[in-house]
Structure 1
Amino acid sequence: MRTSIATVCLSGTLEEKLQAAATAGFDGVEIFEQDLIVSPNSPEATAALAAELGLSLDLYQPFRDFEGVEEEQFAANLARAEAKFQLMKRMGMTTILLCSNVATATIDDDEVVVDQLRRLGDLAERYGIDVAYEALAWGRFVSEYDRAWDLVKAVDHPRIGTCLDSFHMLSRGTDLSRIAEIPGEKIFFLQLADAPALSMDVLSWSRHHRVFPGEGSWDLTDFLARVAGTGYSGPVSLEVFNDSFRQADTQRTAVDGLRSLRWLEANVSAAREGNASSAHTGRDRVRLDLQPLPQVAQPRGIDYVELNTDNLGALTRQIHQLGFRFVGFHRTKPHVQLWRRGQARIVVTEPTGPENALIETSDKSTVAFAVSTPDADSTASKTYLRGIGFAVADADAAMERALLLSTTEVPREQAHDEKVLRGVFAPDGSEVFFGDGNGEDPQWTDEFGTVPDDRQSAIDHINLAQPAHHYDEAVLFYTSMLALTALPSQDVPSPSGLVRSQVMSSADGAVRMPLNVSPDHSPNALSRDAGSPAATYPEHVAIACDDIFTAATTAVARGLKFLAVPQNYYEDLAARFDLAPELLDRLREHNILYDRDDEGEFLHFYTSTIGSVFFEMVERRTGYRGFGAPNAPVRLAAQHRRNTES
């Protein structure tokens, strides 16, 4: 499948955009007119640069406000079109995008429009130019793709075809069944964009909130399968207007865009294998060369979480207070240790490996604590979530898929007799590793020693903070790499503004990862590219247990400082739920929060923050699948209070 991207998707100069598109691996680009106008380079120089980079110039766009006008205006429009055709000839370009008239159309008459498009086709023939007519969702008289196609069909000119744009079609909820009527050779261009589900005017939605395929709420697999079924064989291009994209790193956005197309391509390829595409068309005319990716199943669970810290004493003390047992130091990496609570595993890594003091815990296991132990809430600590290990059915296939989706492999030193673990960097700079999961202890744990632990405990979920500029990229990353599903997002109030939260989840709930972005992030606040310093906004690891009160009692006995919950919360809790007074007293005593829905109950408590990491202990009763969202403002306010007081 030939891939293309509109230069309007990217930040930077036209030259920087072309370089980024080529480096990412795109086959071609759409030249957005304004990018060319503001460039100091001549059209010929731009074309030469694209050729040097191996990029085809697939579309010149946009040409606006042409048809449905009085004859005097039409003559001026035709002269304007000829000037653009001459420019395109200088650049070796052969296709132009004609948007349906928005501003100057005064005649809503198909015969007039057909005649004017036909005369434009005659002019285009002289220059060897194809005109792709597109219905803008806010066009004055032509706003639906099927009407644009009816007009193109009536024009019956070899130089006049149509452009299909997923945004303009899906934003209006248009019936897509008529796509099957369009011969592939009359679709002169295809533009793709996804979008979040928003209630707003379609023009603002289009200009500011488009995202790459897989980062929004639309079924673009179905859309592309329908278009492929027509026999279309041209470029599959991205046209995304997004304020964040146009402020973000150019190269990174280009890679994200190509990843979205490769993921979508593989989805359509898989659908065709299941004979899904032919159901849309009644025939099989697919001419796109759709390349598959190695198939991966959703993860079976989380093998481990790795935390990097320069405050070993505070971190390991808190882990111990939560009931984890020290397994041991890595046999060849003395600065790495493993902790375990049932099937919940935490790998703790020190950047420098200072001297440690060994103490004996109440359960007779020997634990390493740093001699110098700053307070848990010390702002000097650089404790952060470094990586996550996922248990997958086929680690090799998962890794191969990840590399084909333009990720960067994490460099890892290992001895010849150690388990080979491979992983890639996530958009926030953390590490994602793939391990063969079969329900037993993973093989790599033998490198730390053996501590049997059959307690009913595991990692329940991991809450990750994401930089605002790369939030959508993170959604696509976990969707495309691990086949996780993005659940509907919600906004949670905090003292510093609304926090957007979206859960990435496997169907069975074995993997749950809320992704959060806060309005007080600066664009680079969370950058951890290739292991750089920690995130500045808290992230947390939630540990499941079968008895929250026993866990809390153990934690208190070991000196854990809970995140304090105000009395007002428990008074409100009593008003919302008919709880027994004894239960309410126990919740209050242990700073435990409570939620309930039709499926079950959820009890949880939080620790203080070390660096940018804190912990949550949870107990799910019966079928509760949420995360205690009504309690999130309480936790955020308590953390804000603690941070401002420290």
Structure 2
Amino acid sequence: MRTSIATVSLSGGLAEKLQACADAGFDGVEIFEPDLIAGDRSPEEIRALAARLGLTLDLYQPLRDIEGVDEATFAENLRRAGATFATAARLGIDTVLVCSNVATATVDSDDVSAAQLRRLGEVASTHGVRVAFEALAWGRFVDDYRRAWRIVELADHPSVGVCLDSFHVLSRGHDPSAIADIPGDKIFYLQLADAPALSMDVLSWSRHHRLFPGEGAFDLTTFTAHVLSTGFDGPLSLEVFNDTFRQTDPDRTAVHALRSLLWLQDKVAHHPQQSAASHLFPVADAEPAVGFDFVEVKAEDTSEVEVVLDQLGFTARGRHRTKPVSLWVAGAARVVLNEQLARDQAPHIAAVGLAVPDADATTRRAVDLMAPRAFRRTYGSEQPLGSAVAPDGSEIFWSTASADGSHPAWVDEFTDGAPADPASPVRVIDHVNLTQPWQTADEAVLFYTSVFGFSADAPTEVAGPTGLIRSQVMRTADGAVRLPLNVAPHVLSGSAPTQHVAFACTDVLGVARAARARGLPFLPVPDNYYDYVAGKFGVDASVVAELRELDLLYDRDTDGEFVHFYTRTVGNVFFEFVERRGHYDGYGADNAPVRLAAQRRDTAR
């Protein structure tokens, strides 16, 4: 289907926004009136610019506070509307958005509103313009799309139809199934936005916290399927009011926005209500990852990380035959240490490898969803890997998982190493914690959801010594891949946010004892914490003593127990070792403030 976006969703001036939309690949745009009146180009110049860029101008908006008023007020409103319609005609736009009255409505009557919309339609038609009437979620009298449709039916004018906006429908919890009762040719426009689940007034929620499809809590797939079931053939258009998107690079935001519409079309195409999907963008199918393949730590000098891995019982599997890269292995957990093109870089997580059922299928899906490719020089004798660059700059690689469970072919490119210990209590990579810049956090959720088929857990907040950390876990349904994405508070100049890799163990106490015997310095945990554990969980004194001795942390819920420890930070990365007992599925969230405070003290020392 054709795609469109409201200029209010992007930062910059109007011409800059149009260029960004065209470069991203949108078919059209909605012109937000304040963008036009703040610019120095005439409507005719904007119309010509859009034509040169290959963009249609699909909607002019918004025309506010028109219907539900007394006759004297309506006469003035008609004059104002006529000026708006004239501007739309100069732009070459044939549809104007009219919002239900919020500020001046005094007459709560469908008949009165319908009669006024009919007269509005008469004026609009003289300019070659249609009126798309939208029920705002905070409208004084009309705040439900079903009532808006009743009024449009009563108006009974060919130039008057409805605009359906997913936010105004879903934020109020209205059932979208009645959309199917609206004739498709009377749905003049469709606007789409997602949003997080928040408890606040709908106006503030709408103005500051809308998201692109796939990033929030709304069921946009079902909503859109209901609209398309009517025969609606207009564009899928985004109207997203968001403080972050209004102050970040419009070129990047436009690509991000279009990816969300491609993802949505893919979801709708697979919806049981959607019988014919030929008009929807075809996104290649790919099954989610079945596990982690590797994690890569990059630095100019990785020797300090090598020492830590050795103390933790990892085996040096060898050096790459053509690159300054080494591989360390414990169980099925693989850590790649990369010193290539890393001058002046401290140790940090640079890449994550995924094992997928079909690498070619994942690559096709990444291309369809406009994921930028990560370039790594690969020689003819080396295994090529699928790749993409995540919004935070991390590189994601993938290869087809071995059916027999053996190691991937790329491991054989590492030579002169020792065989891995078959009795290692370390099993796999449990999760990789990636710190996100504030301006890319929402984009990252969509990236992992759309390209890799991960689901997003509900966001949580963790209190640290320098502020709140917002965390949201991206994961596969079976938990084989877990990527907690953390938005950290502002850090002091010269410092960088830390990231970490967690490894799943069958015996975390054994790993801790062996590592301590090899001289590994653990992240020190304060005695107060162990008094808290004993009181909260009623843990036996001998168990608490063992936890205290090894600087281990503990958590428990109705499904099981969680025992884990952290290493000290090397550069910007540290390691965590976890043992999940029973069916425990969390991450010891209550222990995070303890860890953050301990790391701050350790760094200060």
TM-score of the aligned structures, taking structure 1 as reference length: 0.91
Partner of 1:520: 490
1:453 Cα deviation (Å)? 4.0
Any stretches of 5+ residues in structure 1 without a counterpart? Answer: 279-283, 355-379, 526-533
Which SS does the other structure have where 1:84 is aligned? helix
Question: Is 1:442 matched up with 2:390?
Answer: no
User: Deviation string for 1:547-596 (max 9, x for gaps)?
Assistant: 11111112112221111100000001100112222211111011000011
Partner amino acid, structure 2, of 1:214: G
1:521 Cα deviation (Å)? 5.5
Partner amino acid, structure 2, of 1:396: D
Residues 79 and 386 of structure 1, relative CA distance in 2, 3 Å threshold: same
Partner of 2:585: 625
1:493 Cα deviation (Å)? 0.5
Which SS does the other structure have where 2:270 is aligned? helix
Partner of 1:397: 361
Of 85-94 and 18-27, deviating more is 85-94
Q: Are the aligned partners of 2:330 and 2:420 in contact in 1 as well (CA < 8 Å)?
A: no
Question: Is 1:637 matched up with 2:597?
Answer: yes
Partner of 1:464: 434
Distance 1:628 1:493 in 2: 13
Partner amino acid, structure 2, of 1:159: S
Question: Is 1:420 matched up with 2:420?
Answer: no
Distance 1:45 1:559 in 2: 71
Distance 2:332 2:133 in 1: 58
1:620 Cα deviation (Å)? 1.1
Partner of 1:59: 59
- From 383, 386, 398, the counterpart of 2:347: 383
Q: Are the aligned partners of 1:309 and 1:315 in contact in 2 as well (CA < 8 Å)?
A: no
Q: Are the aligned partners of 1:231 and 1:288 in contact in 2 as well (CA < 8 Å)?
A: no
Question: Is 1:198 matched up with 2:198?
Answer: yes
1:437 Cα deviation (Å)? 0.8
**1:223-622 map, 5 Å:** 223-271=223-271, 276-277=272-273, 289-333=279-323, 335-351=324-340, 382-438=346-402, 439-449=405-415, 451-454=419-422, 455-456=424-425, 457-520=427-490, 536-622=496-582
Q: Are the aligned partners of 1:30 and 1:60 in contact in 2 as well (CA < 8 Å)?
A: yes
1:612 Cα deviation (Å)? 1.2
Of 310-319 and 504-513, deviating more is 310-319
Q: Are the aligned partners of 2:298 and 2:345 in contact in 1 as well (CA < 8 Å)?
A: no
Q: Are the aligned partners of 1:228 and 1:287 in contact in 2 as well (CA < 8 Å)?
A: no
Of 444-453 and 459-468, deviating more is 444-453
Which SS does the other structure have where 2:472 is aligned? strand
Q: Are the aligned partners of 2:455 and 2:475 in contact in 1 as well (CA < 8 Å)?
A: yes
Residues 182 and 353 of structure 1, relative CA distance in 2, 3 Å threshold: closer
Any stretches of 5+ residues in structure 2 without a counterpart? Answer: none
1:288 Cα deviation (Å)? 7.6
Distance 1:19 1:190 in 2: 23
Which SS does the other structure have where 1:602 is aligned? strand
Partner amino acid, structure 1, of 2:455: T
TM-score of the aligned structures, taking structure 2 as reference length: 0.97
1:481 Cα deviation (Å)? 1.1
Which SS does the other structure have where 1:627 is aligned? coil
Aligned length: 599
1:327 Cα deviation (Å)? 0.5
1:177 Cα deviation (Å)? 1.9
Distance 1:642 1:53 in 2: 55
Distance 2:341 2:398 in 1: 26
Partner amino acid, structure 1, of 2:358: D
1:644 Cα deviation (Å)? 2.7
Q: Are the aligned partners of 1:233 and 1:287 in contact in 2 as well (CA < 8 Å)?
A: no
Distance 1:312 1:298 in 2: 32
1:643 Cα deviation (Å)? 2.2
Distance 1:314 1:452 in 2: 21
Partner of 1:164: 164
Distance 1:296 1:637 in 2: 41
Q: Are the aligned partners of 1:6 and 1:30 in contact in 2 as well (CA < 8 Å)?
A: yes
Residues 48 and 414 of structure 1, relative CA distance in 2, 3 Å threshold: same
Partner of 1:360: none
Q: Are the aligned partners of 2:269 and 2:277 in contact in 1 as well (CA < 8 Å)?
A: no
1:440 Cα deviation (Å)? 2.1
Question: Is 1:113 matched up with 2:113?
Answer: yes
User: Deviation string for 1:327-371 (max 9, x for gaps)?
Assistant: 1111111x11100001000010013589xxxxxxxxxxxxxxxxx
Residues 611 and 17 of structure 1, relative CA distance in 2, 3 Å threshold: same
User: Deviation string for 1:86-140 (max 9, x for gaps)?
Assistant: 1111111101000000001111111111111001111111111111000000001
Distance 2:109 2:281 in 1: 44
Partner amino acid, structure 2, of 1:188: F
Partner of 2:78: 78
Q: Percent identity?
A: 55
Residues 521 and 470 of structure 1, relative CA distance in 2, 3 Å threshold: farther
Q: Are the aligned partners of 1:3 and 1:236 in contact in 2 as well (CA < 8 Å)?
A: yes
Which SS does the other structure have where 2:69 is aligned? coil
Distance 2:299 2:309 in 1: 13
Partner amino acid, structure 2, of 1:277: Q
